[in-house]
Amino acid sequence: MKKNRLIPVLLLKNGWLVQSKSFSRYQNLGDPITSVRRLSNWASDELIFIDITREGEYDMKRDDKGHPNRHTIEEIIRDVAKECLMPITIGGRIRTLQDIALRVGSGADKVCINTKPIETPEFVTQAAKEYGSQCIVVSIDVRLDSEGTWRIFKDGGKVSTGWNALHWAKEVESRGAGEILINSIDRDGARTGYDIPLLDQISKTVKIPVIAMGGVGEWEHFAEALDKTQVDAIAAANIFHYYDQSVYVAKQYLYERHYNVRPPDLILFDPREVKNAVL
């Protein structure tokens, strides 16, 4: 039986790792590569890396030996790929097939696309045809409107598209998306738990894997999503920055309660040594 995946999400803004609340407030957390190294050693199942940079500038304003500066997303992806063994999904600022090629060529296993498919749905079809559905994750940012309908938003959760979330999920599935990442804007950074009714409806509507995102504040929220919905993976961002060995502890919590996750483990070696080894 396929295991449920536990996936940390890292948000990148202008080269820095940040945590988010309601898609509008961002707190600087430091060098993203340091966090990638920790998450890899804590045996994360996968990693989702979302670039929310608006200005196109990647500058940590330092260039010392221990913390080299990086000036492009490709440089950052290459550094990330050197540090981890788990599959990497890269999202943000993807507008063309060439953008996908640059990210895959730099070390990404999958890409996560959001705004471009809303503007040009055919882009999902083109991307899946070029790189395979298994490489294409469509991120869907959702907010409940005044009429009680889940609507899709774009441009960092600021602009309503008018799309019904359930209809859009079926649309991108039909166009070849391999997975869907559902992110509740209202739950982002709130630490009140996932939007369970939303996840339940989406995971019942489509046949492709659904990744839950938005609102986790305690380990029980992961369990609630697995108990009450049919999602394939549970993802979170902020909570994994609050605790040492957080992924290991979260997975241990779920495994001991007999959820269908991989056993908790700590990788007590430097993944760079494996990737650089001559076989």
Domain spans in the chain, listed from the N-terminal domain onward: 5-275
- Per the DSSP assignment, residues forming a β-bridge with 234 are 6, 212
Question: Which parts of the chain have pLDDT scores under 50?
Answer: 65, 269, 271-279
**In this predicted structure, what is the pLDDT of residue 275?**
44
Whether 42 and 244 have beta carbons less than 8 Å apart is answered as no
**Alpha helices, H only, 84-195:** 97-106, 115-119, 122-131, 165-174
**In this predicted structure, what is the pLDDT of residue 269?**
47
CA dist list (Å): 96 to 127, 175, 186: 9, 16, 29
State the pTM of this model: 0.89
C-alpha triplet 3, 232, 27: angle, nearest 5°: 110
> What is the sign of the dihedral through the CA atoms of 267, 43, 246 and 90?
positive
**In this predicted structure, what is the pLDDT of residue 54?**
73
Whether 43 and 248 have beta carbons less than 8 Å apart is answered as yes
48-105 pLDDT, tens digit per residue, is: 999 988 766 665 555 554 556 666 889 989 999 998 889 999 999 999 999 999 999 9
| β-pair type (136-144, 150-154) | antiparallel
**In this predicted structure, what is the pLDDT of residue 84?**
84
- 218 vs 146: CA distance, rounded Å: 28
> What's the token pair of residue 259?
């959820």
180-199 pLDDT, tens digit per residue, is: 999 999 998 889 999 999 99
> What's the token pair of residue 14?
């202008």
**In this predicted structure, what is the pLDDT of residue 260?**
97
Q: Which CATH architecture fits 5-275?
A: Alpha-Beta Barrel (3.20)
**In this predicted structure, what is the pLDDT of residue 189?**
83
- 46 vs 35: CA distance, rounded Å: 14
**In this predicted structure, what is the pLDDT of residue 157?**
78
